[in-house]
Structure 1
């Protein structure tokens, strides 16, 4: 039997940061990470293996962060957690005794077993295993006609990357828009139009009836009877928490199968923490279940777990996820954080909007310039920022991070209108048209117009 102070199951973002944060917080304790793969894939980089990197070896999270922090790393498969004896058993016949345990077992792809033919050869769910993804790479390269089922981030990104290889690509989405959970219609229309202009066939409000073939996939049949020729199908219907070990150990799960945790990521067992995709998520604004599974959220939770594993040292209120997203589709970046306008309406928020369009460099004649479009949504009475959506060049990826912090801190339209920015012609929008300031001012102006009715000056 091996003994360790902190044992972490899982070696992706949640597992790595739980271990390295604990090392910084508690100094010379014994820390062990167990993971079931020799190498760990960058999860958000998986689609880019196929059209950009062309190799899984270029999408690996290095082990240096763990090894340099003197953290023991074991490549093994955990088979059982026993909270009563505080032990973990593995396929390699090892038994680990722990004082504190972090479960960071991630998620598994949703397999649509209700679709006939889902188990045919070349019908591919996305697993985060390098050997598996190498096989997928061979299949993608050999294919001519690909169908992607699911229009979320993974589906959109896979469709783009496979199209870059010159393949025939069709994306099928059941909802009325791709990426509808993150963006409102003006942004989803822009994304879909970009995909269509670049040769991707996008079918929304479309249901798959069956996947057809004898041994290998040959076509995808739609509910309306149409058939799309396919020698490759990517299943991108989302993911679900991988909480099998926790459930078998008697740790409480919610109705969706995610591990129930408190604001310090503690489970129903006070010596067991859970972070990342396997742990439940709550909406920042409503406290409702919010199944938004992101590496960035896992990173935040892991820092909380690592810092508070043995003592509550980082006293904070983890109010939940604000669902911050970013992606890049055919050269244009799209990002969002917080509530969409449709979600705000659904939850009963009264909002004011501020929208603005400008250039990401000044003057706009500079090479490499892209147009930025931004939409901010504020609570009508308090002016507190509820949500943001933005498209443009690469700078959008960091602008949304500013807005993510603003949402978490309850920043108002007035504060965002006057917050101070560093600008430069080659790298930012103009100081007289900085998108956050300008959109916030437009929201204030919209609110003021109602107050001005009947005003005598």
Structure 2
């Protein structure tokens, strides 16, 4: 079997890479190899525990995207890649040759190493259909669930399980959403979680309690939290085994790639969670793994497979994302104030706050808070954080583009916007403009 392009992996990154390859090079044959017959929509996984009625409601319809484009799919596991011969082998014994290869092998949850992790009732949150079906059934049977972790997946899963009427406790070592938000936003989400009846406990886990089944979680300070299930959401690690075996350059953060998503072999590309991401401003490894980042990288890889397109290159990761927890939408892009100062930037911060409808009497009105971080030297935007209603999910995209284009506070302040009473904040009090104005006043003071 021979194909012009073979993509290993069929989640967000692999799917997008295949679609982009087909659209930019319509005469080329494309094959996607997926290890599981049934894949999941990554960002929808937390919602299979509450909002969605079944795990099946979050299934990723890979063939529906690929078949109309003429992209073939194969359910099998790739066991070996020979970069020199441009051949890969699968668990079923197939040998497939390729001209260009895209690795989109994703990530897996970090497994806890505490005593008691082998007990029945200890779970992580993988992108595994059959695992999640069992996990959901166990959630339905449980009364008390302890979730260890303070990232957005831990919070989303906890919020969803609480909707089922379960007793939910979240254990976090420092503060919630620390990698993406400054303390005032962490406090907002913690307050909302507590209002929903979710307990937030600060501490470090020592062990999982129980004989054969989970009975609780013991913290280092001696506190014991009763639990029927212990859920660990303490991070993800890139799946790099194939890349290592193939002799590609791999760091502790993932597969190394250049700005065109090429690995150390010029005809092998890599995208998504398996790749080492680098921060937009500092060039340091960026730990946040996002489907939006994976698809961004995949579009670059797909466009550059056979011909480098200078305008389609990876200028590093902004890390834009949003989440919705306990009725509060949070979104962030770029550096936090805390991270910017730690990196040595001298910063100015601007705030904007107000309703996202005008007048604020409409039923779906919510208060939106915007925080923008600018460099003091030229007023260039470094980061943004927003909290409020669902409109926040699209507002952050404006600011992600502003960061990517390195806009200044002055340019954001003069941004021309579309507003409507039922859809947006007032043009007089649009929160992004307010925050830019606040920062400008401080810059000129």
Under TM normalisation by the shorter chain, which class is it? Answer: over 0.9
Instruction: Answer yes or no: is the 8 Å Cα contact 2:356–2:366 preserved in 1.
Output: yes
Q: Which of residues 263, 269, 272 in structure 2 aligns to 1:273?
A: 269
Residues 303 and 312 in structure 2, CA contact (< 8 A), matched pair in contact too:
no
Gaps of 5+ in 2: none
SS state at 2:215 partner:
strand
Contact 1:304 1:314 in 2 (8 A): no
Contact 2:2–2:98 at 8 Å: present in 1 too? yes
Q: 2:323 aligns with which of 312, 317, 327?
A: 327
Q: After superposition, what is the alpha-carbon deviation per residue over 1:316-375, rounded to whole angstroms, capped at 9, x for unaligned?
A: 442211111200112221101111010011000011111011100001112111001111
The answer to whether 1:247 aligns with 2:241 is no
Segments of 5+ residues of structure 1 without an aligned counterpart are 450-457
SS of the equivalent of 1:187 reads helix
1:454 match: none
| Matching residue within 208, 218, 232 for 1:221 | 218
Match of 1:56 in 2: 55
* 8 Å contact kept, 1:287–1:319: no
Partner of 1:166: 165
Tell me, yes or no, if structure 1 residue 38 matches structure 2 residue 9. no
**1:242-266 deviation digits (Å, cap 9, x = unpaired):** 000110111110133x101000010
Deviation string, structure 1 residues 50-84 (Cα, Å, up to 9, x no partner): 01103111102212111111101001111111112
* Pairing 1:393-408 to 2, within 5 Å after superposition: 393-408=389-404
Q: Secondary structure at the match of 1:195?
A: helix
The answer to whether the aligner puts 1:287 opposite 2:283 as a matched pair is: yes
**CA–CA separation in structure 2 for the residues paired with 1:315 and 1:330:** 40
Instruction: Check conservation: 2:304, 2:312, Cα contact below 8 A.
Output: no
CA distance in structure 2 between the partners assigned to 1:232 and 1:156 by the alignment: 16
Partner residue in 1 for 2:23: 24
1:202 corresponds to which residue? 200
Q: Tell me, what secondary structure is at the counterpart of 2:135?
A: helix
Q: Does 1:182 align with 2:180?
A: yes
Distance 2:144 2:49 in 1: 15
**Within 2, Cα distance between the matches of 1:432 and 1:315?**
36
Cα contact 1:168–1:200 (8 A) shared by 2 = yes
> Given the two structures, how large is their TM-score scaled by the length of structure 1?
0.96
How far apart, in 2, do the equivalents of 1:166 and 1:86 lie? 53
TM-score after normalising by structure 2: 0.98
Q: What's the offset of the Cα at 1:6?
A: 0.2
Residue correspondences, number: 444
1:341 aligns with 2:341: no
Q: Which residue of 1 aligns with 2:108?
A: 108
**Closer/same/farther in 2, CA of residues 317 and 27 from structure 1, 3 Å limit:** closer
Match of 2:88, SS state, is: strand
Residue aligned with 1:47, SS: helix
The 3 A distance-change label for structure 1 pair 227 and 330 is same
1:366-416 CA distance string (max 9 Å, x none): 211100111101111111000101111111000000100000000110011
Work out whether residues 355 and 367 of structure 2, in 8 Å CA contact, stay in contact via their aligned partners in 1: yes
- The yes-or-no answer on 1:415 pairing with 2:414 is no
Displacement after TM superposition at 1:216 (Å): 1.2
**SS at 1:46's partner residue?**
helix
Residue 424 of structure 1 and its aligned partner are, at CA, apart by 0.3
Q: Is the 8 A contact 2:352 2:433 kept in 1?
A: no
CA distance in 1 between partners of 2:255 and 2:313 (Å): 19
Any idea what the Cα deviations from partners look like across 1:128-164, whole Å, max 9, x if unmatched? Answer: 1111111111011111010001010111111101111
Q: Distance in 1 between matches of 2:252 and 2:412?
A: 39
Q: Which of 438, 441, 445 is 2:437 aligned to? A: 441
